[in-house]
Chains A and B, each alone.
Chain A
Amino acid sequence: MSDLTQLDIAGARDALGKGDCSAEELTNAYLDAIHEADPLNAFITVLPGKAVEMAKESDARRKNGEAGPLEGMPLGIKDLFCTEGVKTTAASHILDGFTPAYESTVTRNLWDAGAVLLGKTNMDEFAMGSSNETSYYGPVRNPWRLEGDDNALVPGGSSGGSAAAVAANLCAGATGTDTGGSIRQPAALTGIVGMKPTYGRCSRWGTIAFASSLDQAGPMTRTVRDAAIMLGAMAGHDAKDSTSINTPVPDYEAALEGGVKGLTIGVPEEYRVDGMPKEIEDLWQRGVDLLVEQGAKVKTVSLKRTKYALPTYYIVAPAEASSNLARYDGVRYGLRVPGDDITSMYENTRAAGFGAEVKRRILIGTYVLSAGYYDAYYLKAQKIRTLIAQDFKDAFEDVDLILTPTAPEPAFGIGAKTDDPLSMYLNDVFTVPASLAGLPGISVPAGVSDKGLPLGLQLIGRAFDEETVLRGAYALERAAGFTGKPDAWWRS
């Protein structure tokens, strides 16, 4: 067979099942592709030896008739998931040399389903960022570039390495984590599918914590079908995470068919923000038209508190982050920078170990949680969060899914927003509300910008109704017919 990396998960499953290729051959094809893609900087750690060993074990299982749902599938794993015996960095200097003695539940589930670990993908430091520029290991370059322009663009973030790796065919699929849009926004900026399931659907155990009430793992794939296959393997109840929901995982792939006929799609008027670029507005309208053509009904809905979602998020998430990141003290993990006494050792270690964006969020979080400010900031934000969730609940009385753009603009240049934290935060304006409400959302590539860059549309569903989200996304994907792939400029 020609280039095995052209196969998506469903295609590779067929090829492996028919014996057209082995997991070892497939894995080697991806390892070669990764080797040639150094300029993208998509991986922090590549594991050729371990990957081939896991692929051989997979081939042996298949021979014994024990093939799992992801048997032999070579995956990239965001470097936020702890992997036993494999360096895990969260793209932070402060975790230098950290090698977990345990495996995260999500990755454990993937290996139990037969998947192969190719390597750990680059990301924004501690998943804080929307461009993958806050990584201690350097920015990831988007496989997509402007036509006739060699300047590097960001892949989005924080799961930017996973997004770039999937877009450039460096893995069959990848894991991401999404706190305020970290799966969906990079998926949109790289022309792939990214899904954040309902909060509680995937266990958070063994995933390095950023903001615990928001963090969710999800799949990043080339197609909606692949996302369904991968999510089925990742999800499930886990007694080790008390927020993991004890409810059966449906057969997501079986839920794809059926189309959108009979479904009502909500279009939230508040998402029509001032200054929305025409290409984004056009894409959104095109998405509406395509779903109507497929037989869906469309209804305008109101999510009144939308404009407060982003500032609410930038209180809640830093507050939780400041608490979660208190553990990096120079005593228990990784980096230690000496000081005159224990306090200065803490302070020096954290000054050297954390990057600028992480420090900003810890400082904001510490401030909004401090005595005297707690009620005005944190408590107020948690009340508004209740209202935002209520807005969604009310809207879902009338509609089955909500359609929005995923991101307010296509991929931008590396360095374009690094001096202005607020303009960077605005990239998550359409993804944060569903995160605050804990709802499932998916980004589907649906068109290209005026200058040829991929654009995504987001479908949001009811809590634990990933099936309808996937069904809608599958219909939208087929109707939109996005088949673009970047030129492989990184190989030259």
Chain B
Amino acid sequence: MLARIAIKDDEVPPLVGELNQILDWVAQLEEVDTDGVMPMTSVVDASAPLRADDVSDGGKRDDVLRNAPDAREGHFTVPKVVE
């Protein structure tokens, strides 16, 4: 699952029902003619600003790690991923 959420077997049937209800409802969008319409990329008319390409922030390792459930020796930890 791309969502990376564990779902118990007994949670599946109601969830499938709810999600199908939502997807059936949004399916009404098929009736809108969108030929030649550009998809919205920016809601206000503005071009993305460019900033100077220099280092303006950083050096905050301890701040970044402070909220981790398990940080050790300056690193985040995860379960073993390489055998």
Cα(A372)–Cα(B71), bound, Å: 38
Chain B binding surface SS class: loop
Please tell me which one of the listed residues B32, B34, B79 contacts residue A341 in the complex, with CB atoms under 8 A apart.
B79
Q: Does A412 contact B (CB under 8 A)?
A: no
- Alpha-carbon separation in the docked complex, A414 to B2 (Å): 33
User: Nearest A residue to B49 by beta-carbon distance?
Assistant: A242
Instruction: Determine the chain A residues whose CB is within 8 A of the CB of B6 once the complex forms.
Output: 344, 347-348, 350-351
Bound CA span A198–B43, Å: 10
Contact digits for A325-338, partner B, Cβ 8 Å, 1 yes 0 no: 01001111111101
Q: Knowing A341-B81, A379-B39, say if A421 contacts B22 (CB, 8 Å).
A: yes
Residue B55 is within 8 A (CB to CB) of chain A in the complex = no
With A242-B49, A385-B40, A422-B22 in contact, do A342 and B69 touch (Cβ < 8 Å)?
Answer: no
B34:A383 contact, CB within 8 angstroms:
yes
**Residue among B29, B41, B70 with most chain A CB within 10 A:** B29
- In the complex, are the beta carbons of B69 and A335 less than 8 A apart? yes
Bound complex: CA A344 to CA B18 (Å):
25
In the bound assembly, the distance between CA atoms of A370 and B1 in angstroms comes to 11
Q: Does the CB pair B78–A380 fall under 8 Å?
A: no
Q: Does A364 contact B (CB under 8 A)?
A: yes
Q: How many residues of B contact A (CB 8 A)?
A: 47
Contact size range, A = 35 or more
Contact with A along B15-51 (1 / 0, CB 8 A): 1001101110110111010100111111111101101
**A274 vs B51: C-alpha distance when bound (angstroms):** 50
Q: Is the CB of B4 within 8 A of A350?
A: yes
User: Given A97-B67, A198-B44, A386-B38, are A311 and B5 also a contact pair (CB < 8 Å)?
Assistant: no
Q: Shortest distance in angstroms between B8's beta carbon and chain A's nearest beta carbon?
A: 8
Alpha-carbon gap, A59 to B28, bound state (A): 58
List B residues at the A interface (Cβ < 8 Å): 1-7, 15, 18-19, 21-23, 25-26, 28-30, 32, 34, 37-46, 48-49, 51, 60, 63-64, 66-70, 76-81
Residues in A lying within 8 Å of B, measured CB to CB: 97-102, 198-200, 213-214, 239, 242-243, 245-246, 305, 308, 311-312, 314-315, 322, 326, 329-336, 338-348, 350-351, 354, 359-360, 362-364, 366-367, 370, 377, 379-387, 389, 421-422, 436-438, 463-464
**Besides A99-B67, A200-B44, 5 new A-B residue pairs in contact (Cβ under 8 A), listed by A number:** A101-B60, A308-B32, A333-B69, A346-B4, A464-B44
